[in-house]
Amino acid sequence: MATPNIDRLAQEGIVYAHAYTTAGVCAPSRCAIITGNYQTRVGGHNMRTLWNTYPEQTGLPKEYQVVPPTEIKCFPEYLRAAGYYTTNNSKTDYQFVAPPTVWDEVGNEAHWRNRPEGKPFFAIFNFMTTHESQIWQRSNDPLRVDPKTVSVPPYYPDNEIIRQDLARHYSNISRLDEQVGDILKQLEEDGLMDKTIIFSGRITETDCLFTSVKFIVEGYMCRCLSAFLTSDWRAHAIRT
């Protein structure tokens, strides 16, 4: 299965092949990323707090927020205070509701293109295309991968259900690659491609099968990250 846009980021940037997440599931991972602290330091290690804690099983209130220590800030707050236009499109789910000082824009329309002219920006785009839920929510979409041709890892049973789920997940990855390509095209149209540092990470759910989300095994905990650097940064990286 070809992923030319994701491959481009890896080929023209730097690949961090041994980057480990500090939690085995999505929301606690985002808590650590947005605060720059271990989940256990800020209280965000239990999955989950917002929306539904499944009180019939946990005995907790249905919903609560982590209350980070007063000295803890979300890292985009520092960028915004330094003059950056910060946008998030659109998922948050940090185990707490982000304060209004974090983002200039957050939502499905948030985009660097909405910033004042010439203002530096920090923009996040969260694609749900390969979220675990998409295995069944996209079950009626045309497959781009033939289930008969997928390679089934030895820790999965080789049957029709597993092959179908793997083919769906790989098809979703193909669609995700197109979304990445759309963002790269927009940067090029705006003359920003060589002025922007891009980080791409697989940090949330994958296929909801063994070794993916919620499993504390290397297949999930070790995430492949890539960074596409501007020409000046690339030159420095090559020198060092």
Compute CA 167 distance to the chain's CA centroid, rounded to the nearest angstrom: 21
Q: pLDDT category, 132, cuts 50, 70, 90?
A: confident
Between 229 and 105, name the one with better pLDDT: 105
Percent of the chain at pLDDT exceeding 90:
62
Fold held by 4-239: Alkaline Phosphatase, subunit A (3.40.720)
Contact 116, 85 (CB under 8 A): yes
Query: What pTM, to 2 d.p., does this model score?
Result: 0.88
Give the pLDDT of residue 211: 57
Alpha helices in the chain (DSSP H): 4-12, 26-35, 39-42, 55-58, 75-81, 134-137, 160-189, 218-221, 231-239
Mean pLDDT of 193-212: 70
Neighbouring-strand partners of residue 20 = 222
Give the pLDDT of residue 24: 81
Q: pLDDT category, 81, cuts 50, 70, 90?
A: very high
**Residue tagged active-site, from 26, 31, 74, 224:** 26
Domain boundaries along the sequence of the chain: 4-239
Q: pLDDT category, 235, cuts 50, 70, 90?
A: very low
Q: pLDDT category, 17, cuts 50, 70, 90?
A: confident
Our answer to whether residue 26 is catalytic in this structure is yes
